Structure 1
Amino acid sequence: MPNVSFGPLETERLLLNPLQPEHAAQMWEVLRDPALYTWIPREPPGNVAAVENRFKAVSVGRSADGREQWLNWTVWLRTTGAPVGLFEATIHEDGKAYVAYMIRQSFWRRRYALEGMKAVVSALFSNGVKEIEAEIDSRNVPSISLMSRLGFVFVERKSKVEFFKGAWSDEEVWRILPSRQL
Structure 2
Amino acid sequence: MNLPNAPGVPPCPAWEHGVLRTERLELTPLRVEHAEEMAGVLADPALYGFTGGTPDSADALRERYRRLVAGSPDPLTVWHNRVLRLRDGGRLVGTVQATVTASGSAAEVAWVVGVPWQGRGLATEAAREWIAWLTGRGARTIIAHIHPGHRASAAVAAACGLAPTGERQDGEIRWRLSASSDQASSTYHCRTDLPRT
Q: TM-score range by the shorter chain?
A: 0.7 to 0.9
SS of match in other structure, 2:123? helix
Gaps in structure 1 of 5+ consecutive residues: 162-169
Corresponding residue of 1:25: 36
Instruction: Please report how far the alpha carbon of residue 150 of structure 1 lies from its aligned counterpart in structure 2 after TM superposition.
Output: 1.2
1:163-178 mapped onto 2 (5 Å cutoff): 170-178=171-179
Distance 1:24 1:65 in 2: 24
How many aligned positions are there? Answer: 171
Deviation (angstroms), 1:41: 3.0
Q: Partner letter of residue 67 of structure 1? A: L
Contact 2:28 2:84 in 1 (8 A): yes
Q: TM-score, normalised by structure 1?
A: 0.87
Q: Distance in 2 between matches of 1:87 and 1:178?
A: 19
**2:53 aligned to which of 7, 18, 42:** 42
Who is 1:152 aligned against? Answer: 162
What letter matches 1:73 in structure 2?
R
RMSD between aligned residues = 1.8
Q: Which has the higher strand share?
A: 1
- Give aligned-pair identity as a percent: 30
User: Quick check: 1:110 aligned with 2:120?
Assistant: yes
1:15 maps to 2:36: no
> 2:141 is matched by which residue type in structure 1?
E
1:90-109 matches, cutoff 5 A: 90-94=99-103, 95-109=105-119
Instruction: Give 1:91 deviation, angstroms.
Output: 0.4
